[in-house]
Amino acid sequence: KQWYQRRVRAPETRGDQDHVFEDVKMLVQSAVDGYNVCIFAYGQTGSGKTFTMIGTPEMPGIAPRAFSRIFDLLDENVKKFSYTVNLYMCELYNDQLLDLLDGKNSKKLEIKKDGKGMVFVQNITVKTAASASQLWQIFDSGSQNRHVASTKMNAESSRSHL
């Protein structure tokens, strides 16, 4: 499979969360339309992946902006369609898929395809969100269960892939 890299941000544009989100905003529309979407942040520890994806309360990153945009799009189309926003969170840690919304990880998770060819994770905890703020709360709760450890460059570096 070939992958297309649309944009690489130069260091002087770092911190400009508005422009970063403008680059990916249409992916939120695609997700609402039913397509699988992936935004991959890659880089060395301390290079700004978490800032780009999560941001700060003053400068929200891609995730909180996407959460708001999802519900903006749903509100714009409330007379045409009915929607339910479901969320599950997993991390790949030491070659094991873990459920971040189930702190016990009592069930074995497996990646499967349904009859329509859509990928899903079997046995994972699924939660429903009725607003962007509720979606953020669920995401934040799941994020607390991620594996992190201290490195020389970062006190709470992720040890997994979300």
The string of pLDDT tens digits covering residues 115-127 is 998 889 999 999 9
161 φ/ψ angles, rounded to the nearest 5 degrees:
-120, 125
pLDDT over threshold 70, residue 14: no
**Residue 41 is encoded by which pair of tokens?**
């942040």
pLDDT at 150: 59
Q: Could you give the maximum distance between any two Cα atoms of the chain, in Å?
A: 53
Given a contact cutoff of 8 angstroms between Cβ atoms, the answer to whether 25 and 31 are in contact is no
pLDDT at 105: 78
129 φ/ψ angles, rounded to the nearest 5 degrees:
-120, 135
User: How confident is the model over 17-62, as pLDDT tens digits?
Assistant: 888 898 889 999 999 998 888 888 877 877 788 888 999 999 999 9
pLDDT at 32: 92
pLDDT at 95: 84
Residue 158 pLDDT grade (very low, low, confident, very high; cuts 50, 70, 90): low
Region 127-141 average pLDDT: 96
pTM of the predicted structure, to 2 decimals: 0.80
Task: Give whole-number Cα distances, 133 to 71, 101, 121, 139, in Å.
Answer: 10, 17, 24, 10
pLDDT at 79: 94
CA atoms in the 13 A half-sphere facing the CB of 3 = 5
User: How confident is the model over 77-128, as pLDDT tens digits?
Assistant: 999 989 999 999 998 888 889 999 997 878 899 999 999 988 899 999 999 9
